[in-house]
Structures are given as structure tokens and as C-alpha cells.
Amino acid sequence: MQVTAAQLGQILKGEIIGNPEAMIQRPGKIEEAGPGEITFLANPKYEPFAYTTNASVILVSRDFTPKQPIKATMIRVDDVYASITLLLNEFGGKVERMEGVSTNASIHQSASIGGGVSMGHFAVLEENVEVGQNTTIYPQVFIGKNARVGKNCILYPGVKILHDCVIGDNCIIHPNAIIGSDGFGFAPQDDGSYEKINQTGNVILEDNVEIGANTTIDRATMGSTIIRKGAKLDNLIMIAHNVEIGMNTVVAAQAGFAGSSKIGKQCMIGGQSGFVGHIKIADGSKIQAQSGINKTIKEENSAWYGSPALPYNDYLKSYAAFRKMPKLLKRIHDLEKRLKDLEK
């Protein structure tokens, strides 16, 4: 795809600063982009690259004031991230949709498939599975007995949806994610062994949910593990039995949620965060990366950091003091030595 800065400015409703005829062929990272590429500046940490980039065009916010000359044509926009999202969609990168159903797919005679469904080699649909119209099922996907998948979904290679689970409309599940594996439930016995507790529930993904590669979502012991409408989960996330992830909540990679934790709507959860079981997290909570949440958070729209987590500003103050500990200890030792000398 080729467009001029002027054409893209019209699409983004932006203001052109520089050459409106600058030609754009593809997007690029600000620190690596070259001629014919468009990049963007949204994070102030990357501002130095704006003055050295070889990109032909750069997207900036309307309130950006350069401290040095910028040789690239600038397009000033209201929301850089929203504009770059639209830009990436315009420049493609979408996987070409499969067509038809492979003769190597295994489909039980009781399964129900809507119109426009496509299915790759060695996909398996077991008894009483329902698949909605226009859903794409890539090779080696497994869908267990009585599971339901909505319309317009994409199940990438290796996805496993086990028995009785329910997937809503417009969901995307990336390779090797597992939906509905057994929850981690074992009862200790008198002899020190453990007896497995049967996990009788299921997993429900509501509409417009996206699940990253190799993420695992355990079925409930009883009832349902639920990922609410619009939630987005990154790769390598662990969701235990009876967890509930709220509407439009986003979770970065390697986070883990212990059983029966309830996460509110529109939360933002950083990578490698951990949550103990049976707690509730208020709507709008912001959890920084690698934080450990060991208690219920009641205050909405609050930010937390650390392990065990503290309110964000309290953590920063505590960390500032912690960094000074070696110097403080040296001062204490020096004072103790001087005190002993005085006593002598």
C-alpha cells in the first residue's frame, strides 16, 4: 500500500507539518525506520529518536513541541495510539482467511456447524459441538464434547477447548491456548497423599475476548470460570478455577490468578503479576508488573506496585528509602564507632 502524507492526514484528520507529498509504503519503529516508512512518537522516552529518525513521516500529538529540527514530515493528531492502530489496520498484516473444510478434519456426526465455517487439517470436533457461522478453525484445533463456539471466531493452530466450555462471538484464541483444563484441586489425606477433586464446572469466554498463545484457563470446580466481555489476555497467563476476569480488563504476559479471585472491569494488569485466591480487585485497578496482590483491593481506579503490593505512590517512597539503606547503615556504623570513642 502506498499513500502520501497528505492522504494519510485526511484519514487521520491530522495537521501536516512538512512535505505533504512524502510517500509512505509501510510503518516502522522510530529508532529503525527509513525512507518510505511512517513511525510515531507517543512515549516521551523515545523523543530523542524523533530528531535522528530516517522515517519519511512521523505521527505526533498536537501538543508536541520539538526541541530540535525534525527532518521527517510530521502529522499532528489528537490521539497518537488511536491513529497508529488505524494505520496498522490500513497497512494490513492480516492472515489470509482459510476457505472450506479440510477432508482431514474429524467432525462428529452430532456436531453442528454454521454457514461459512472454515476448518483446517486434523481439527477435531467431538459430540454435540456447536460452531457459529463464519468461524475459522485452524489445523489441529480440538473442541471437546458439548462445547459451544460462537460466530466470527478465530481459533489458531493447536487451540484446545475442552468439554462443556462456551466461547462467545468474535473471540480470538491464539496458538496452543488451553480452555477448560482441570482446576488444581486435591484433598489432603491422612496418609499424606492427595485425592483428586473432580472439576465439574466449565469455562465461559464472553463476546470479543482475545486469549494469547499458551495461556491456560482452568475449568471451575463447580459453576464457571468466566472471562467477561471484551477482556484481552496476553501469552502465558494462568487462570485458575472459578476465577472471574472483568469486562474490558487487559492482562499482560505471565500473570497468574489463584482460584476464585475476582478481577473487576477495566483493570490493567502488568506482566508477571500474581494474585492469591479468594480476593476481589476493584474496577479500574492498575497493577504494575511483577506485583504480588495478597489482599482484596476495594478502592476503584487505584494503582498498586510491589510484592506484597502497596499503593503506587507509597511503594515509590518506600523504594526510594530502600535504595538509601547501604548509606544509612554505613552512617549508623560510623555513629556507633564515634559513640564508643566518646565513651572511652
Which of 108, 121, 163, 241 is an active site residue?
A: 241
Question: Closest Cα to residue 20, out of 72, 73, 59?
Answer: 73
DSSP helix, strand, coil percent of the chain (3-state; round to 5): 15, 30, 55
Nearest in space to 208 (alpha carbons), one of 163, 170, 262: 170
Asked if the bond preceding 308 is cis, omega within 30° of 0, the reply is yes
**CA-wise closest residue to 145 among 202, 192, 199, 220:** 202
Give the residue from 324, 278, 274 showing the smallest Cα distance to 304. 274
Structure-block grid coordinates of residue 288: 504494575
Phi then psi dihedrals of residue 45, to 5 deg: -60, -25
Mark residue 255 as left, alpha or beta (left: phi above 0; alpha: psi -120 to 50; beta: remaining).
beta
Place of cell 477448560: 180
Catalytic status, residue 163: no
Q: What's the DSSP call for residue 98? A: P
DSSP 8-class letter at 45: G
Sequence-distant (≥ 6) Cβ neighbours of residue 116 within 8 angstroms? 133, 134, 135
Looking at this protein, which amino acid is placed at residue 61? S
Q: How far apart are CA 41 and CA 241, in angstroms?
A: 41
Distance CA 169, CA 130 (A): 12
- How far, in Å, CA of 239 to CA of 251, rounded? 11
Q: Identity (one letter) of the amino acid at 4?
A: T
Q: Which residues are catalytic?
A: 241
